[in-house]
Amino acid sequence: MCGIFGYVGGRTDAGKLVIDGLKNLEYRGYDSWGVACKIGTEIRMEKDIGKISTVDSSAFADACSLAIAHTRWATHGGVTKRNAHPHMSCDGTIAVVHNGIIENYAELRRELEAKGHAFQSETDTEIIPHLIEEELKSTDDFASAVRNACNRFEGRYGLLALHTLSQTLVAARTGSPLIVGGTRKDGYFIASDIPAFMDYTRTVQYLDDGEMVVTDGRSILFTDIATGEERPKREIEITWTIEEAQKGAYKHFMLKEIMEQKESITRAVNQDEEQIMTLAEAIRNAQGTFLVGCGTAGKACMAAEYFFSVIAGKHVNFAPASEFKLYHHFLTSRSLLIVVSQSGETADVLEAMKIAKSKGSKVLAIVNAKGSTIDREADYSLHINAGPERAVASTKALTGQMAVFILIAYALADKLQEGKTLLLETGAKINDMLNPRYMERIEKLAERIQRKQDLYIIGKSWNYPMAMESAIKIQEVSYIHAEGFAGGELKHGPIALIEEGTPCIALVGKDEVTTDILSNTIELKARGAFVIGVAPERYDVFDEWLKVPEGGAAQPLVNIIPIQILAYFLAVKRGKDPDMPRNLAKSVTVK
């Protein structure tokens, strides 16, 4: 979602540094940007709507060793220069950038206005510098004033604050991620995500919920926001490389990440077998296993319902994380919640974890981002090891998540090795499939259907969640209206939408539902649909056939790949940037 980056230390190019660092967080999605640099005892502030990539950072080359910057994804107040961060106190001495939502901001704003504070924006964030300014009337210490202000907030925040009379950077978090990079030697970097400072340091310390940090660039102190007690931290070295997080020879991250599925599935399968067996046992013994995730991760959970049922005869329950609230009636200390998230920072998932923990249930996280909040707060974690995923559209994370679920389902059926073999073979087949001829074929198909306004996808069994996932992929990057259905549901309503030439995709495998899904496809064809079949075999009903290898229980992993490629080419052909779809963000840290 919004990006945050701040620096304090011995360097004298802090303004330029924070702007360049934020350019590395562009993939998160935002609509405006801003920076505040402490120069002497003044603050130079610049902000605007639009892309930070077009900002010339050399224009911020003034001698400056303390700066904060932000990219904003609008929640409270429209996309305007005024609403962009940083926000300042009335006297212009305090600047703040913030991610998250201060839920009691209206009440605090009324209170501050009554005391004479004048507000410039419609944001919830602007109450922060004003409240700190108010708190400074009863303490000389800037960090204490920030602490006192934080203790009055309800909601979620990750914030950075600076003051003209202090060479310190103060950060606090409750609900929105902040990571500290650097050492006494390099100075300290504080960002909402690691790529912001990877050019300068690989040493990180994680700020946890309810904690704040104060640093002057040479020393650093982590404390509990509520009590002020010191919180000791461990320095951790990041193991992934900057190249892994960059586009390399690819035009877009989305394409790069689709192609990385040649290896990422194999990496996901490479789990500690003992741990997989222990987790399978935990599922076997749980009195109720619940799966939650959002968007694409939610579709991996939906597919997992079928994996558990077909492979292991085990019933589990899926709910989108945002719908989990009322499930608390079913939770006990013997329930198990499995949460799935690429970023490990999704607010709705964190909320679901909170609900489960309040009932004493255990939480297993399947995550990509190691060290993320979800990873750290879960009782057990499995990493899918897909490497950084930067395109907003999730691709390689999905196939990694499904691979891990298949592995657990096979472990539950006491056939772990069989599952492993199947997945490794599937990885190899995907490697063969992702060749230039295949890509060209799908590009041509995208060329042919790019001007269509609607597109429908059908699937059955574990291909049903993939039909829904296909729709998400096509919607979010190409903006074509796409919907995914269970094939059998067509005749209960959606078939009324089919006209002569409507493109419809059928996701087909070679299993006990093949005949059924082909019958549904024939129903579409009879209404004039232009039928694109994704299947291991060609059937007469297909107008276009996108061949996929036969995958058994791993069929959804192979079937989704041509659709990811199609969505990518549809976006490109329609002149859209697949890496930065409108209105969306990579990491959704608001509820």
* Sites for ligand M6R among residues 134-153 (CB under 6 A): none
**Residue of 47, 299, 314, 586 marked catalytic:** 586
Residue 399 touches ligand M6R, criterion: CB under 6 A: no
Rule CB under 6 A: choose which of 346, 399, 463, 555 binds ligand M6R: 346
Q: Is 301 a catalytic residue?
A: no
* Sites for ligand M6R among residues 188-217 (CB under 6 A): none
Residue 393 touches ligand M6R, criterion: CB under 6 A: yes
* Sites for ligand M6R among residues 471-530 (CB under 6 A): 472, 476
User: Near ligand M6R by CB under 6 A, which window of 17-25, 78-86, 117-125, 387-395?
Assistant: 387-395
Whose Cβ is closer to ligand M6R: residue 108's or residue 402's?
402
How far apart CA 510 and CA 206 sit, in angstroms, is 47
Rule CB under 6 A: choose which of 55, 297, 382, 565 binds ligand M6R: 297
Tokens representing 109 are 């704003």
* CA angle, residues 307, 313, 317, in degrees to nearest 5: 65
Rule CB under 6 A: choose which of 349, 353, 382, 534 binds ligand M6R: 349
Shortest reach from residue 359's CB to ligand M6R, in Å: 22
Shortest reach from residue 71's CB to ligand M6R, in Å: 17
HEC per residue, 428-473 = HHHHHHCCHHHHHHHHHHHHHHCCCCEEEEEECCCHHHHHHHHHHH
User: Near ligand M6R by CB under 6 A, which window of 145-153, 342-350, 493-501, 564-572?
Assistant: 342-350
What are phi and psi for residue 76, nearest 5 degrees? Answer: -95, 110
Beta strands in 124-228 (DSSP E): 155-163, 166-174, 179-183, 187-191, 203-206, 211-215, 220-224
Tokens representing 201 are 């340091």
Shortest reach from residue 577's CB to ligand M6R, in Å: 14
The radius of gyration computed from the CA coordinates of the chain, to the nearest angstrom, equals 25
Residue pair 101/69 in contact (Cβ under 8 Å)? The answer is no
Residues in binding contact with ligand M6R, number by CB under 6 A? 17
Whose Cβ is closer to ligand M6R: residue 341's or residue 520's?
341
Whose Cβ is closer to ligand M6R: residue 335's or residue 587's?
587
Containing 483, the helix (H) or strand (E) segment is strand 481-486
Q: Is 586 a catalytic residue?
A: yes
Whose Cβ is closer to ligand M6R: residue 141's or residue 323's?
323
CB neighbours of residue 455 within 10 Å = 25
Tokens representing 80 are 């305007």
**Residue of 2, 37, 150, 301 marked catalytic:** 2
Residue 392 touches ligand M6R, criterion: CB under 6 A: yes
Rule CB under 6 A: choose which of 180, 265, 294, 580 binds ligand M6R: 294
The answer for residues whose C-beta is within 8 angstroms of residue 451's C-beta and 6 or more apart is none
* Sites for ligand M6R among residues 70-129 (CB under 6 A): none
How far apart CA 573 and CA 565 sit, in angstroms, is 12
The residue with tokens 């791993």 is 554
Strand order in the sheet with 179-183: 42-49, 32-39, 66-72, 3-8, 187-191, 179-183, 203-206, 236-237
> What's 306's DSSP letter?
H
Rule CB under 6 A: choose which of 32, 99, 296, 426 binds ligand M6R: 296
For 121-151, give the DSSP string: SS-STTHHHHHHHHHTTS-S-HHHHHHHHHT
How far apart CA 17 and CA 58 sit, in angstroms, is 9
Shortest reach from residue 300's CB to ligand M6R, in Å: 9
What are phi and psi for residue 32, nearest 5 degrees? Answer: -155, 170
Whose Cβ is closer to ligand M6R: residue 282's or residue 584's?
584
User: Near ligand M6R by CB under 6 A, which window of 191-199, 276-284, 340-348, 533-541?
Assistant: 340-348
User: Near ligand M6R by CB under 6 A, which window of 22-30, 54-62, 337-345, 492-500?
Assistant: 337-345
User: Near ligand M6R by CB under 6 A, which window of 147-155, 180-188, 389-397, 555-563?
Assistant: 389-397
Return residues touching ligand M6R (CB under 6 A). Answer: 294-297, 341-343, 346, 349, 392-394, 472, 476, 584, 587-588
Active site residues: 2, 586
